[in-house]
Structure 1
Amino acid sequence: MDESRISLTIVPSGGDEGSVLVSDFLKQVDALKKLVGYASRTNTVEARIVGLSMNSPASVEIEAFNASNNAAVPVGAFFHDVYNVVEKAATPINLEREVFDTIKDFASVVGKGVNSTIIVAAGNEIKFDIIAKDRIDGIFGQDYSRHGTADGMLEAVNIHGKINNCALYPLVGPKRISCRFEEHLFKKIKPALGKYVMIEGILKYRWREKFPHAADIHKIDVLPSWDEQPSFEDILGMASNATHGEASEEFVKARRYGW
């Protein structure tokens, strides 16, 4: 069994005489390509079409391969997890939110022009029909909020109609955090525009996401620019007695392994 190959069969609602919209076909192929890309955390996995049938039902065979060396990549374990999501309403802990979103997106075309879709990977037959679609919709957990802080570049302030929105662009984590601020904070928001800041407030998280996607700002502080940061020469020797006379190597070892 070739664990790098995945087949996709799309069954139209009209049976053998039915047809599939190009938009539905492309949406499912694109979603399958994304799923293949999520199959490995260590390699950049791409997908290529190695088989195509235009008869009804339409079918496509895809091979997963390593983009750096063109070698085939086994994806059986990953699609076994996808099978458990679709067929058993499971939520494997190793699957991140983006995988569930893509599975949901893949299933979204079922019910109108598409009667069902079947993915076969490494012996797992994964059937997407109306029942599976409802099952997938039901597994998503609740989004949540908590008090916290986040830092990043502040941009895109919009105060039209007192909407009071802005965007935070962190160096790590999410590409963008959509923020809302109270009217009284505008005097602090305005001079912070285009600068690196620390916000504090209610951070909003989607189910299974590690980083916030939105925030209600209660406090904002402009952080020092890189030019204002101390150099290594500035901090050299500023805590000369930190180890109380013990050699720095022994000091670090004791704290690294002493517990």
Structure 2
Amino acid sequence: MSNKFKMIVKGDEADESIRLADLVDQLNALKQALNQVDASLGGGKASDLYYRVTKITMNSPATFEVEAVSRSGKVAQGRKVVSKLSRDIQSVMSGKRPKDSDLDLMESYKALVRPMQRHVMEVSFQFEKQHVQLPRNLDIKVDDILGPDQVERGSMVGSLDVLDIHNRRNMFKVYPVVGPKSIKCSFNREMLPQAIAGINHFVQITGLLHFKKAEKFPHLIKVDSIEILPEKSDARPLASLRGIAPDAYGGLVSTEYVEKVRNGEW
């Protein structure tokens, strides 16, 4: 498999031209999918790849030739990313979950067809001699593969960041100490002061945890409460407890007290 491929996009304007906003969204979706594929191949850690457009043809339809390039000159990684992108898309189209595909990667495949809900008529890829046209319902296929949410009440601890209240979204992300890179959190408008206060702090988020089948960790929390946890600098050191209860041993020194406990005399 080559480290190059083509993306073909047809708009619904005259001569199949594309609206600028839709083209930007389509290219961003492609970039996000490529980054997620790269990270999945590295066990969650991205490599040194970047992606460059080596050729653009606007002679209806618009065609973009994309190359995966390694800063260290390792061509193999770019080939692996392009190959996995091709295999994964075809797996999703056939209703199967691709190997080593976490929730973020699956969500990035949904985003590839989001512009088709507006003014993009068709999106397809050319991998060497193989032409793959994305179905308009690729996002539904992803949802069917992931299955419905399983919901349970619980809590997660992590750092609160990326607060978004635009158009009343009322969302933020929590970055857990263990588990997934981040979890989306939805909250009521009345909790905005607590959400703002929690930014860049470790918090305990309690609420309804939404899981996908075969996933160990939630992808969404509908928040009931936000508790800001004390910073390490706020915690009292053990040394500060010295002398806090001088009469705890009934007038005995600690060694005498322990000896009496061991002998069953207390």
What TM-score do you get using the length of structure 1 for normalisation? 0.63
1:109 to 89, 112, 115: 115
1:65 correspondence with 2:73: no
Q: Is the 8 Å Cα contact of residues 196 and 225 (structure 1) preserved in structure 2?
A: no
The one-letter amino acid of 1:103's match is: Y
Aligned pair partner of 1:51 in 50, 55, 70: 55
Q: Distance in 2 between matches of 1:53 and 1:95?
A: 32
Which aligned pairs between 1:122-137 and structure 2 lie closer than 5 A? 123-130=129-136, 132=138, 135-136=141-142
Structure 1, unaligned runs of 5 or more: 158-164, 235-259
Residue 167 and residue 116 in structure 1: after superposition, are their counterparts in 2 closer, same or farther (change >3 A)? closer
Shift of the 123–224 alpha-carbon distance from structure 1 to 2, 3 Å rule, reads same
SS at match of 2:21: helix
The structural deviation recorded for 1:70 is 4.8
* Equivalent residues of 1:182, 1:218 under 8 A apart: no
Q: Which residue of 2 aligns with 1:39?
A: 37
- What residue number does 2:27 align with? 29
Query: Deviation at 1:218?
Result: 6.9
User: Take 2:228 and 2:22, find their aligned partners in 1: how far apart are those partners?
Assistant: 47
Give the CA deviation at 1:56: 0.4
Following the alignment from structure 1 to structure 2, what is the Cα–Cα distance between the partners of residues 140 and 210?
A: 14
- Range with bigger deviation, 135-144 or 40-49: 135-144
Q: Deviations over 1:24-72 (max 9, x none)?
A: 2222222112222122233143211011111101100001123x42543
- Taking a change above 3 Å as real, the CA distance of residues 148 and 38 of structure 1, as seen in their structure-2 partners, is same
Q: 1:174 aligns with which of 157, 164, 182?
A: 182
Match of 2:87 among 65, 80, 84: 80
Q: Secondary structure at the match of 1:39?
A: helix
**Uncovered stretches (5+) of structure 2, i.e. residues with no partner:** 164-169, 242-266
- Which amino acid in 2 is paired with 1:213? L
- What is the aligned partner in structure 1 of residue 153 from structure 2? 147
Contact 1:155 1:166 in 2 (8 A): no
Could you say if the C-alpha distance between residues 101 and 108 of structure 1 is closer, same or farther in structure 2, counting changes exceeding 3 Å?
Answer: same
* Partner Cα separation in structure 2 for residue 55 and residue 135 of structure 1: 31
> In the TM superposition, what whole-angstrom CA distance separates every residue of 1:86-141 from its partner, at most 9, and x where no partner exists?
x3122225212222222222212236643322112355432124365654564442
* Cα gap change, 1:203 to 1:113, in 2 (>3 Å): closer
Query: Which letter maps to 1:19?
Result: S
Q: Is the 8 A contact 2:156 2:206 kept in 1?
A: yes
**What is the TM-score with the length of structure 2 in the denominator?**
0.62
CA shift in 2, pair 1:203/1:34, >3 Å: same
Number of residue pairs the alignment of both structures matches:
217
In structure 1, C-alpha distance between the alignment counterparts of 2:217 and 2:128, rounded to whole Å:
30
Q: CA RMSD in A?
A: 4.2
Residue in 1 aligned with 2:166?
Answer: none
Distance 1:181 1:84, change over 3 A: same
Q: Contact 1:80 / 1:124 at 8 angstroms: preserved in 2?
A: no
Partner of 1:120, secondary structure, is strand
Paired residues of 1:91 and 1:139 also in contact (CA < 8 A): yes
| Residues 1:35 and 1:77: Cα distance change in structure 2 (over 3 Å) | same
Contact 2:125 2:132 in 1 (8 A): yes
Inter-CA distance 137–230: structure 2 relative to 1 (3 Å threshold): same
**Kindly tell me: are residues 226 and 212 of structure 1, through their superposed partners in 2, closer, same or farther at Cα, counting changes over 3 Å?**
farther
SS in 2 for 1:23: helix
Instruction: Go from structure 1 to structure 2 and tell me whether the alpha carbon gap of 1:115 and 1:199 turns closer, same or farther (over 3 Å shift).
Output: closer
In 2, the alpha carbon distance for the partners of 1:209 and 1:46 equals 31
Which amino acid is the alignment partner of residue 106 of structure 1? L
C-alpha deviation, 1:169, in angstroms: 4.2
User: What percentage of residue pairs aligned between the two structures are identical?
Assistant: 18
Q: Is the 8 A contact 2:205 2:223 kept in 1?
A: no
